[in-house]
Structure 1
Amino acid sequence: MTNLDRGHLLTEQVNTNSQNLDKLSCLELVELFNREDENAIAAVAKAKVPLATAIERTAEALRHGGRLFYIGAGTSGRLGVLDAAECPPTFCSPPELVQGIIAGGAGALLRSSEDLEDRAEDGASAIAGSQITKLDVVAGITAGGTTPFVHGALQAARERGATTIFIACVPVEQVSTDADIDIRLLTGAEILAGSTRLKAGTATKLALNILSTGVMVQLGKVYGNRMIDVAVTNKKLRDRAIRMLQDLTDLNREAAGLLLEQSGKSVKLALAMHWTGLDKAESDRLLSQHQGNLRAAVDSHNGS
């Protein structure tokens, strides 16, 4: 990390396009935001190579018993916790597989605790407390790139042999890193100077969406573009599961519902049973032999 005056950081600059922000009509304000938000999409596109590398390395780590940790402070920390929290209901992944750590703990999700981001030792302690090992992946998220909490965590993670990812919205010449994978989301100056919950936050959310979803696809938790590992925990999700089974098979709604119940409310297992003709236990064993990858399991059994 370089010793740079924060005022020179890209994320702290004044946006010349919004200098009359307080004079704009409501419609003009919305239009300005819409134009500026296009920079978030462009920033993620320019980071596609390191993002793809992050997906590949993380999926490989998780296949071998590792975990993914997001770590950050303020908005960056909240975005990491949000992405981690959405993995279990979307992919039926165990809560410990993807975890979010925010400076200040759970209380910081609802109330600002940005003063705690200055403690690098707290970041290191969070790594120790989570018992990070060489099997794990730690992604440090910091829009301005300088957050001591994040850098302390990444250093501690490197010392433990974990794979490290650095996600920031400033160029490498402003803030350098020793992380294994360096993702820069260069969204430019914010409409509201220094408010990185705006474009920087949007680009970060997009990148995390891609990272976690890409990893889960690589782990076989998706078939085509369907969430076949979705947790069937309420009426809405049961209806979605049945419709998914109907769409992917030749079954009517009643038969799809019966198959879902026979599988123990697992869409993936239900599909494996239907496509292979095996019973629940045999289908479960087949999936286990292929690390839960439905396509690989079915193709192997059916000789494709």
Structure 2
Amino acid sequence: MEKLDKLLTELRNESSMNIDQESTSNILTIINEEDRTVADSVKKTLPAVEKAVDEVVQALKNGGKLFYVGAGTSGRIGILDAVECPPTFSVPSDLVQAVVAGGDSAIATAVEGAEDDEQLAAKELASRGVTELDVVIGIAASGSTPYVAGALQYAEEVGAKTVSLSSNKDSLISQYASINIEVVTGPEVLTGSTRMKAASAHKMILNMITTTTMIKIGKVYENLMVDVKVSNNKLKERAINIVSTITKVSYADAEDVLRKTDYEVKPAIVMIKADIGFASAQEYIKQTDGFIREAIQLAHK
């Protein structure tokens, strides 16, 4: 494992050397100025992120799954992205999974030593049935976390596609992945506190990976979430507004059609746009692999 003091994420930030003596306003300004650099750092990684997205899209189309693996903050960032996919895109809860060193208990409380165990990660991925159909993304700001390295090595052994996400150049975990996303965010305002810029960059990248993937597999029409899972009143209203916006019918008419689809947005849109029934709309959506623009065109032929 590389010594921490050699990593860019562990170096002292010249802009915050005297932060403990600054006013509240100045502290906030320093943090904000550093945060403003994150998006530019992410931009430099877009070619690598694109490669990762292409792999994930292909994997999901072939029946595979996406796994995030991390320890501490990195693991929790993976959880944040994974748990939002089912309600946002109506995908199965196991399609995007987050694996955290130390298990579920590590979400709220650090589990001592878990991130140093390479074999523990391999056992966890094996228990989840990772195969050559899947994509495993290992996340570690330092790029040297043994748990993540172990996960990527196991993933490669079983033939899964592998992606590393770190915040240091030429990181250890990059050696065990076919695609390397190294988002160099530099020294943190608080030395070594990678829950700040590094974690922000990682969250942005994971958001981009899943959002772009879902767009590419037909979960979005224009810029609307047409596969939203209606599980509460707010999402019910969003579904009605989406249908009304796309089809130009009234709020009341959109709601009436959605009742017939049990609040599934896609068939409701196709039903209105193509003037067909629920069963026919479902069939056209199935024939076009979930892409409702194509489903509407097919229905009109």
CA distance in 2, matches of 1:176, 1:85: 26
Q: Secondary structure at the match of 2:176?
A: coil
Matched, 1:149 2:141: no
Runs of at least 5 residues in structure 1 that lack an aligned partner in the other structure: none
In structure 1, C-alpha distance between the alignment counterparts of 2:190 and 2:282, rounded to whole Å:
53
Residue identity matched to 1:291: D
* C-alpha spacing 1:255/1:268, structure 2 compared with 1 (3 Å): same
Residue 205 (str. 1) matches residue 206 (str. 2)? no
RMSD: 1.2
Deviation at 1:273, TM superposition (A): 1.1
Aligned residue in 1 for 2:295 = 297
| Match in the other structure for 1:139 | 137
Distance across 1 between alignment mates of 2:283 and 2:159: 33
- The residue number in structure 1 matching 2:220 is 222
Q: 1:94 aligns with which of 71, 92, 95?
A: 92
Aligned length: 301
The 1:212–1:286 alpha-carbon spacing in structure 2 relative to 1, beyond 3 Å, is same
Give the 3 Å change call, closer, same or farther, for CA 175–15 of structure 1 in structure 2.
Answer: farther
- Return the alpha-carbon distance in structure 2 between the equivalents of residues 206 and 40 of structure 1: 9
1:112-160 CA-partner distances (Å, limit 9, x unpaired): 1252100000011111111111110000000000000001011001110
Q: Tell me the CA shift for residue 296 of structure 1.
A: 2.1
How far apart in 2 are the matches of 1:210 and 1:196? 20
* Aligned residue number for residue 80 of structure 1: 78
- Give the Cα separation in 2 of the matches to 1:134 and 1:297: 31
TM-score normalised by the chain length of structure 1: 0.96
Q: Is the contact made by 1:58 and 1:215 (CA closer than 8 Å) also made in structure 2?
A: yes
Report what 1:243 is aligned to: 241
Which residue does 1:54 correspond to in 2? 52
Structure 1 residues 3-57: Cα deviation after superposition (integer angstroms, max 9, x where no partner): 5222101111111110001011111011111110122111110000011111111
Work out whether residues 284 and 298 of structure 2, in 8 Å CA contact, stay in contact via their aligned partners in 1: no
Cα distance, 1:204–1:128 mapped onto 2, change above 3 Å: same
Q: Structure 2: state its 5+ residue gaps.
A: none
Distance verdict in 2 for CA 1:51–1:172, change over 3 Å: same
Contact 1:228/1:267, CA 8 A, preserved across alignment: yes
- Counterparts of 2:171 and 2:140, CA distance in 1: 16
- Do the aligned partners of residues 174 and 189 (structure 1) sit closer, same or farther apart at CA in structure 2, a change above 3 Å counting? farther
